């Protein structure tokens, strides 16, 4: 049986990647709401995804307030596709 990339096989990280696969970019606040996660947890998981090169994180401002936007990278998209492919074997779908 194929291995399931452990970086993606985590509910929150998978949710984040899944969202980013369908949406040019998304900011921290949006991801937090959509995934119903705590800020701390989200922060940590975004770091991991960024550390692996699966997403890029850009910190900027909107007016005076900070804004963290995330985008999936080609490596991230590839890893996601491979993960889905491996999962099919388990789910047989």
Partner DNA sequence: ATAAACTGGTTTATATTATAAACCAAATTT
Partner DNA sequence: AAATTTGGTTTATAATATAAACCAGTTTAT
- Give the interface with DNA as residue ranges (CB under 7 A): 6, 9-13, 27-29, 37-48, 59, 63-68
Nearer to a second copy, 9 or 67 (CB): 9
Distance CA 76, CA 41 (A): 20
Q: Judge contact between 83 and 5, C-beta under 8 A.
A: yes
For the CB of residue 69, give the shortest distance to DNA in the complex, in Å. Answer: 8
Q: Judge contact between 76 and 26, C-beta under 8 A.
A: no
For the CB of residue 83, give the shortest distance to DNA in the complex, in Å. Answer: 13
Query: How do 65-72 and 55-62 pair as beta strands?
Result: antiparallel
Q: Which of a second copy, DNA, none does residue 34 bind to, with CB < 5 to 8 Å depending on kind?
A: a second copy
**Which residues make up the interface to a second copy (CB under 8 A)?**
1, 3-4, 6, 9, 11, 14-15, 18, 22, 34-36, 84, 87-93
- How far, in Å, are 44, 73, 93 from residue 51 at the CA level? 10, 12, 31
Nearer to a second copy, 57 or 90 (CB): 90
């Amino acid at each position: 049986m194929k291995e399931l990339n452990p970086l993606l096989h985590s509910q929150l990280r998978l949710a984040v990647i899944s969202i980013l696969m369908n949406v040019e970019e998304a900011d921290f606040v949006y991801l937090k709401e959509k995934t119903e996660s705590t800020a701390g947890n989200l922060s940590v998981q975004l770091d991991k995804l960024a550390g692996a090169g699966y997403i890029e994180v850009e910190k900027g401002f909107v007016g005076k307030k900070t804004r963290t936007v995330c985008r999936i990278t080609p490596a991230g998209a590839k890893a996601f596709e491979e993960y889905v492919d491996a999962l099919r074997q388990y789910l047989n779908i």
